[in-house]
Homo-oligomer: A and B are copies of this chain.
Amino acid sequence: MTDKEKRTPISELGEFGLIDHLTEKVRIKNKSTKKGIGDDAAIIDHGKDQTVITSDILLEGIHFNLIYTPLKHLGYKAAVINFSDIYAMNADPTQMIISLGISNKFTVEDIDLLYEGINLACDNYGVDLVGGDTSSSLTGLTISITAIGHAPKNDIVYRNAAVINDIICVTGDLGAAYLGLQLLEREKKIFVEVPGAQPDLGNYEYVLRRQLKPEPRVDVIKKLKEKKVRPSSMIDISDGLSSEILHICKSSGKGCKIYQEKIPIDKETEKLAEEFKLDPITAALNGGEDYELVFTLSMDDFEKIKETPFIHPIGYITEKSQGYNLITPDGILVKLQAQGWNAL
């Protein structure tokens, strides 16, 4: 029973703590439910094939700021971050449902722009928009997207099956989306203080694109299939590398060693981090929103893909008792922590 007198602020538990607390009592009743809460997506069984399903909710003022986010980009991003969760299960996104809450500050033309982005994402990734719900809202824009994907049963990769000595790989580069956000926030502040000031976005096209129009790594998923490599575990990077690696380690019951100097960071990210007096490694570890993939592979499988330019080994899986370790360039072991976005 709930103690009516007790009033615990949600911040006391945090997002992951709240989810754990709310879902600890959930019991699975249907045979078709292969995987419930606790991965990038849920898995529903149909015999030979499985359905992969995931949802994200995006709220104005929390997940996006319309001062610097074009509505078309927002629609695109809202869709692809869900596709990214499906790819992270080694499945293909096929259908999507979108629910919108729209306040009266938005016009039909605004929502058209949002849908242009959604439709472009669906076209680029071969996904069908199959339904949704549209409602008026008292305050701002709310976007809730559910993406559905499919894969043969044995293809699906969970986050809980990393094996000791597996190589930990990340794709692309990290931290850019976070720096892109810092840049947009800085220019917003100047704009608010000096109305009419033109934004100085400099030559930072790459970090801005990473923040405003991320692309999920379907190319990586295709490359792994082409090389007949199936990762032992995989997750996409929405909350920052640290947080995601800890998800893999904790659900697999393992530890890890990550080499800081192996973490891939783009030159533009490094340059802008310097301008902001930020450590680029902190942005890569905790920034999030890069929508790259982290996965673990056996040594044999790693040999098959090690020449792929956008796949980078950054460490390996250890026994749980060794803990979660980041090794600095000086060889010092630091405990890997999930600080997430807000703690930066």
Taking Cβ atoms with an 8 Å cutoff, the residues of A that contact B are: 2-4, 6-13, 15, 18-19, 21-23, 25-26, 28-30, 32-33, 35-37, 41-42, 44, 46-47, 49, 51, 53-57, 59-63, 94-95, 97-102, 104, 106-109, 111-113, 115-116, 119, 122, 126-140, 142, 144, 146, 148, 150
- Cβ of A21 and Cβ of B128 under 8 Å apart? no
Say whether A135 contacts B33, CB under 8 Å: no
A95–B46 touching, CB < 8 Å: no
Q: Are A8 and B57 in contact (CB under 8 A)?
A: no
Minimal Cβ-Cβ distance residue in B for A113: B2
A30:B101 contact, CB within 8 angstroms: no
In the complex the two chains form, is B131's CB within 8 Å of A59's CB? no
Across-interface contacts of A6 in B (CB, < 8 A): 107, 109
- Using CB atoms, name the residue of chain B closest to A40: B131
A128 near B33 (CB under 8 angstroms)? yes
The answer to whether A57 and B100 touch across the interface, beta carbons within 8 angstroms, is: yes
What is the copy number of this chain in the assembly? Answer: 2
* Minimal Cβ-Cβ distance residue in B for A49: B46
Are A44's CB and B109's CB within 8 A? no
Task: Let me know if B62 and A130 touch, CB within 8 A.
Answer: no
Does B55 contact A144, Cβ atoms closer than 8 Å?
yes
Q: Which residue of B lies closest to A150 (CB)?
A: B32
A44 partner residues in chain B, CB cutoff 8 A: 51, 94-95, 130, 148
Tell me the complex Cα distance, A19–B104, Å: 16
A130 to B23, CA, bound (A): 9
Given contacts A18-B108, A104-B9, A111-B10, contact A119 B25 (CB under 8 A): yes
Tell me the smallest distance from the CB of A226 to a CB of chain B, in Å.
22
A129 touches B10 (CB 8 A): no
Q: What is the CA–CA distance of A94 and B43 in the complex, to the nearest angstrom?
A: 12
Q: With CB as the reference atom, state the residue of chain B lying closest to A10.
A: B108
Distance between A96 CB and nearest chain B CB, rounded to angstroms: 10
B36 pairs with A101, CB closer than 8 A: no
B62 A136 Cβ-Cβ under 8 A: yes
> What residues of B have a CB within 8 angstroms of the CB of A133 in the complex?
55-57
B9, B12, B131, B137: which contacts A41 (Cβ < 8 A)?
A: B131
